[in-house]
């Protein structure tokens, strides 16, 4: 993911808040864990409560060391009773994989797979995202499908995430001809996920065979051509499914109604080789539908996650911080045993020496990660972990760890900017209320 | 990338426009493009004496904070107050409305030592 696209990070930020933005989040880690005992193991490793997480939903969680230090923050999707899909931070993939694999190896029955190079990942975020998806997405409703049982992610069902070609029997959607694309799009609930097919609208609502993206590679191209042949009509699928002919519904993706921007939106996991295709379909279809959309980069992602108060590993979170200092006890189910719980309970009882606060600059200056925080005498009382221009609020703001007695709402702190003390005020989080939270 | 043929440049990517013994100073199109969205410009107080090559201000973009160096020695006689409310002027009009300061030069000959636009263009292309 580039830091920015030509529009620039401020415009990219505003585009996501007013319409729709696409993030290439392929750099993030994607891990599958499955097998008997996987619920029990994950429930011990994750701070979040899993017993009330139904199949079809996802949840935010932390993983901790025994001493309470945060190893990572992640999203866990429950794919089946004993099948899990875990999205982790790019910088922690190796560490997290080793952590999960080490624990799983003690069980024997649990497999841990790195899917990071087999699945791509696109975050599509903004208030017009569901409208856009109505033009391109079709939920794989089991009642619509012939000859396809509910698939597993990973190697078991190759048609979705492997490299084998789709065979006609696996691609047929019953009633395809009568259904318009728009009519069959029902978005999952917040934090829910679905299998969806993403393809471009045809004139009659039929699904076209998609054109591989520039980076689709030979494999993707080959696969598309096979799909075309699989219509069995001897004609390109572009002309649409005919009576009795299998449809070519585009690219099959895991889609979660999740995201990290404070807007409604989804995160889409297509097969790796089809990811540029999905990216292009989304941008082209937005244009055709008159929905303003464009790519957004890392800098916009940072300001978009900051405003609604979401932590970013390496800034608000690290192995030196526990959920107590980071104000993430809400992500910890202290009523169940998990790795690090004792340390967290101890820290909570003692009271943390420092706390994460959000501040807004009262004097004009740009705070940046790493700048010291001082009291009015100039004594160092903390450090900035995120500092930036917040476009929606049109102000300079940030997050800092400060000594607990200066961590109260309304307290005055000073950010040391190039040796000068610049006045700031501790404020209540979040600065921007997520659109989906009523 | 645009270059203004009527100003002179230095390699740290500032420009100076001669108006008698007064010089208007800003940063180049190349500089603003490299920095990206400018969100804040820290300018010196009027009356401050600056030396050629010395940092006199800071331009902050989303990406980073960068020093701005004086292309000539002299006294700051005016600062662009519009940048306070609209720092993006630096991105939109680097050679115009996005100017930083006006310097009353103490040694106007220093202007002749600066790069012409063709020299600066060649320098940027080599970067």
Interface ipTM: 0.91
The confidence score (pLDDT) of residue A222 equals 36
- Quote the number of domains for chain A: 1
Burial of A25 (0-12, 13-18, 19+ CB in 10 A): buried
**Chain B residues within 8 A of A299 when measuring between CB atoms:** 36, 62-63
Interface test with A, best of B44, B61, B62, B87 (most A CBs within 10 A): B62
Give the distance from residue B20's alpha carbon to the nearest chain A alpha carbon, in angstroms: 34
Cα distance between residue A26 and residue A48, in whole Å: 25
Neighbours of A335 (CB within 10 A): 7
* Span A55-101, pLDDT tens digits: 999 999 999 999 999 999 999 999 999 999 999 999 999 999 999 99
> Could you tell me the two tokens for B14?
């500032």
Produce one character per residue of B86-120: b if its CB has 16 or more CB atoms within 10 Å, e if not.
Answer: ebbbbbeebbeebbbbbbbbeebebbeebbebeeb
Choose the closest CB to B37 out of A9, A365, A418.
A9
Cβ contact B37–A8 (<8 Å): yes
Q: Does A298 touch chain B (CB under 8 A)?
A: no
Which residues are CB-contacts of A399 (< 8 A; sequence separation ≥ 6)? A306, A315, A316, A356, A357, A358, A359, A384, A385, A386, A387
CA torsion sign for A368, A372, A373, A377 is negative
Does residue A145 lie within any of the structural domains?
Answer: yes
Sorting pLDDT into bands at 50, 70 and 90, what band is A200? confident
In whole angstroms, give the CA distance from residue B80 to residue B38.
15
> Which residue matches tokens 């009659």?
A204
Structural domain harbouring B86: 8-110
Min Cα separation B66/chain A (Å): 11
Asked if B60 and A366 come within 8 Å (Cβ–Cβ), the reply is yes
State whether A10 and B62 contact (CB < 8 Å).
yes
Comparing C-alpha atoms, which of A100, A124, A99 is closest to residue A111?
Answer: A100
Please indicate if any CB of chain A lies within 8 Å of the CB of B92.
Answer: no
Q: Let me know if residue A242 belongs to a domain.
A: yes
Does residue A15 belong to any structural domain of this protein?
no
Expressed as residue numbers, the domain containing A184 is: 122-292
Q: Which of A217, A201, A174 is nearest to A209 (CA)?
A: A201
Strand order in the sheet with A70-80: A58-64, A70-80, A83-88, A29-34, A111-114
Question: How many domains does chain B fold into?
Answer: 1
Answer yes or no: are the C-beta atoms of B14 and B50 closer than 8 Å: no
B8 burial class (0-12, 13-18, 19+ CB within 10 angstroms)? buried
What residues have CB less than 8 Å from A116, skipping those under 6 apart?
A: A28, A29, A30, A31, A93
> Which residues of chain B does A3 touch, with a Cβ-Cβ cutoff of 8 Å?
36, 63
Residue B115 inside a domain? The answer is: no
pTM, whole model, 2 decimals? 0.85
**A82 part of a folded domain:** no
Work out the average pLDDT over A326-347: 98
Cis? peptide before A430, omega within 30° of 0: yes
Residue B124 lies in a domain: no
Residue B16 lies in a domain: yes
C-alpha radius of gyration, chain A, whole number: 23
Residue B127 lies in a domain: no
- Take residue A124 and report the two structure tokens written for it: 């599509």
Rg (CA), chain B: 13
**Between chains, do A364 and B36 touch, taking CB under 8 Å as contact?**
no
> Residue A287: which pLDDT band, with cuts at 50, 70 and 90?
very high
pLDDT class of A249 with cuts at 50, 70, 90:
low
- Chain segment B94-110, per-residue pLDDT in tens: 999 999 999 999 999 99
Helix or strand run (H / E) with residue A390: strand A380-390
A135 vs A183, residue with greater confidence: A135
pLDDT at B114 over 60: yes
Q: Residue B75 sits in a domain of what CATH number? A: 2.40.50.100
In a domain, B52, yes or no: yes
Given CB atoms, is A102 within the 8 Å cutoff of chain B? no
Chain A / chain B CB contacts < 8 angstroms: 38
């Amino acid at each position: 993911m580039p830091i920015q696209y030509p529009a620039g990070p401020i415009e990219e930020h505003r585009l996501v808040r007013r319409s729709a933005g696409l993030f290439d989040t392929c750099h993030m880690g994607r891990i599958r864990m499955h097998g008997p005992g996987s619920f029990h193991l994950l429930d011990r490793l994750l701070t979040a409560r899993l017993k009330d997480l139904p199949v079809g939903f996802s949840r935010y969680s932390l993983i901790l060391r025994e001493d309470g230090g945060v190893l990572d923050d992640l999203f866990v999707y429950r794919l089946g009773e004993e099948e899990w899909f875990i999205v982790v931070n790019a910088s922690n993939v190796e560490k997290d994989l080793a952590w999960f694999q080490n624990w799983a190896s003690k069980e024997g029955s649990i497999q841990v797979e790195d899917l990071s190079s087999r699945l791509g990942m696109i975050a599509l975020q903004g208030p017009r995202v569901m409208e856009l998806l109505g033009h391109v997405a079709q939920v794989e409703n089991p009642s619509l499908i012939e000859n396809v049982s509910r698939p597993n992610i990973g190697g078991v069902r190759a048609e979705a995430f492997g490299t084998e070609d789709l065979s006609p029997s696996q691609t047929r959607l019953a009633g395809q001809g009568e259904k318009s694309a728009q009519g069959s799009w029902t978005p999952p609930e917040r934090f829910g996920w679905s299998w969806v097919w993403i393809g471009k609208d045809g004139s009659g609502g039929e699904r076209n065979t998609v054109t591989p993206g520039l980076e689709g590679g030979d494999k993707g191209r080959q696969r598309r051509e096979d799909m075309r042949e699989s219509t069995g009509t001897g004609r390109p699928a572009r002309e649409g499914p005919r009576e009795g002919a299998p449809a070519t519904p585009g690219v099959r993706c895991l889609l979660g109604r999740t995201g990290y921007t404070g807007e409604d939106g989804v995160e889409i996991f297509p097969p790796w080789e089809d990811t540029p295709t999905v990216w292009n379909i989304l941008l082209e279809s937005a244009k055709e539908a008159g929905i303003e959309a464009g790519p957004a980069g890392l800098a916009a992602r940072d300001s978009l996650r900051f405003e609604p108060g979401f932590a970013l590993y390496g800034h608000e979170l690290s192995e030196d911080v526990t959920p107590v200092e980071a104000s993430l006890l809400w992500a910890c189910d202290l009523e169940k045993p998990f790795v690090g719980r004792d340390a967290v309970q101890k820290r909570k009882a003692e009271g943390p020496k420092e706390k994460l606060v959000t501040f807004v600059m009262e004097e004009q200056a740009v705070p940046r990660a790493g700048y010291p925080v001082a009291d009015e005498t100039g004594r160092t009382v903390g450090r900035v972990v995120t500092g930036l221009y917040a476009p929606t609020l049109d102000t300079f703001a940030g997050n800092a760890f400060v000594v607990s007695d200066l961590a109260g709402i309304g307290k005055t702190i000073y950010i040391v900017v190039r040796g000068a003390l610049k006045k700031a005020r501790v404020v209540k989080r979040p600065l921007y209320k997520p659109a989906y939270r009523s | 990338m645009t270059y203004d043929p009527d100003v002179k440049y230095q390699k740290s990517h500032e420009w100076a426009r001669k108006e008698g013994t007064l010089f208007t100073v800003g940063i180049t199109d190349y500089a603003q493009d490299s920095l990206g969205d400018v969100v804040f410009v820290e300018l010196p107080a009027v009356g401050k004496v600056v030396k050629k090559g010395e940092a006199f201000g800071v331009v902050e973009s989303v990406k980073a904070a960068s020093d701005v160096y004086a292309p000539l020695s002299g006294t700051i006689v005016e600062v662009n107050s519009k940048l306070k409310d609209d720092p993006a002027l630096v991105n939109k009009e680097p050679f115009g409305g996005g100017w930083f300061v006006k310097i009353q030069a103490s040694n106007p000959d220093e202007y002749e030592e600066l790069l012409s636009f063709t020299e600066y263009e060649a320098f940027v292309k080599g970067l």
